[in-house]
Amino acid sequence: MLWKIGRICITNCVSPVFCLCLCHPTPRSVEYTCSFLPKFSIHIETKYEDNKGCNDNIFDTELKEQEREVCFVDIAYDEIPERYYKESEDLRYFKSEKTSRGILQEGWRDTQDPIMCSYKLVTVKFEVWGLQTRVEQFVHKVVRDVLLLGHRQAFAWVDEWIDMTLDDVRDYESQMHEKTNIKVCHEQQVHSTTNPSSLDDIEIHDKAST
């Protein structure tokens, strides 16, 4: 019931804001917060370097080793959720017609040159006793899946964006931002109409089922 509560609450109460920063190699940070859960936040900081992911201290963080996990994301060979799989985006078989990039064979990270690594420092905080560890671990996994899918698509769609100028990218970004907000707001309105349950009702139902 916990996940049902979370899903209903978030859909009804949160208006997500999408922020995309495209300024390589300048570091960028994105902060996601939730208005009705002040103790919940996701912070993502990004940096880029021309290497194979060998810089473990790129963020110059003072976090203790036990509080930080370094996770390599292989855009070609890491598994993605089955519902998001598309053969056209499978980089084990994809080859760009315009750039001749691909196919990414196993071990490509060690042999490819030139190569760039996108470093992400993801910090998740959910300071609620009894739920903190599970929720933070779950969010970290979801963020990893999102980053994996997004970077796979960036590579697989190269023929669509390689000829775009920076102004073209900015225009496309603005259009997608507007379309996404319109779609999300519409879906929230529909869900609120079809699921008018209040938070109190949901909590009572959960206690009864427990």
Q: Which of 16-20, 59-63, 77-81 has the highest mean pLDDT?
A: 77-81
158-197 per-position pLDDT tens digit: 999 999 998 998 898 889 888 888 887 776 676 666 655 4
Band the pLDDT of 36: cuts 50, 70, 90. low
Mean pLDDT of 48-66: 75
Q: Class assignment of domain 17-171?
A: alpha beta
DSSP 24: T
Report the chain's mean pLDDT, rounded to a whole number. Answer: 75
Q: What is the pLDDT of residue 5?
A: 39
The whole-number pLDDT of residue 61 equals: 63
Q: Which of 11-15, 144-148, 188-192 has the lowest mean pLDDT?
A: 11-15
Residue 27 pLDDT > 50, yes or no?
A: yes
133 has a pLDDT exceeding 60: yes
Listed in order, strand segments (DSSP E) in the chain are 28-34, 37-49, 117-126
Q: What is the rounded CA–CA span in Å between residue 189 and residue 195?
A: 10
State how far the Cα of 123 lies from the Cα of 139, in Å rounded to an integer: 10
**Domain edges within the chain:** 17-171
User: What's the CA gap between 164 and 38, in Å, rounded?
Assistant: 40
Which residue in 50, 80, 70, 49 sits closest to 151, CA to CA?
Answer: 80
What percent of the chain shows pLDDT beyond 70? 68
Write the pLDDT tens digit of every residue in 77-113. Answer: 999 888 899 999 999 999 999 999 888 998 888 888 8
Helix (H, G, I), strand (E, B) or coil at 118: strand
Confidence of residue 204 (pLDDT cuts 50, 70, 90): very low
Measured CA to CA, the distance from residue 95 to residue 108 in angstroms comes to 14
- pLDDT reading at 198 higher than 90: no
Only one residue has tokens 């985006």, namely 89
Backbone angles phi and psi of 58, in degrees to 5: -65, -30
pLDDT at 210: 35
pLDDT at 31: 66
pLDDT, mean of residues 50-72: 75
Sheet with 37-49: list strands edge to edge.
Answer: 28-34, 37-49, 117-126
Cβ atoms within 10 A of the Cβ of 27, count? Answer: 15
How far apart (Å, rounded) are the C-alpha atoms in residues 4 and 2?
5
Bridge partners, residue 174, by sequence: none
* pTM, to two decimals: 0.70
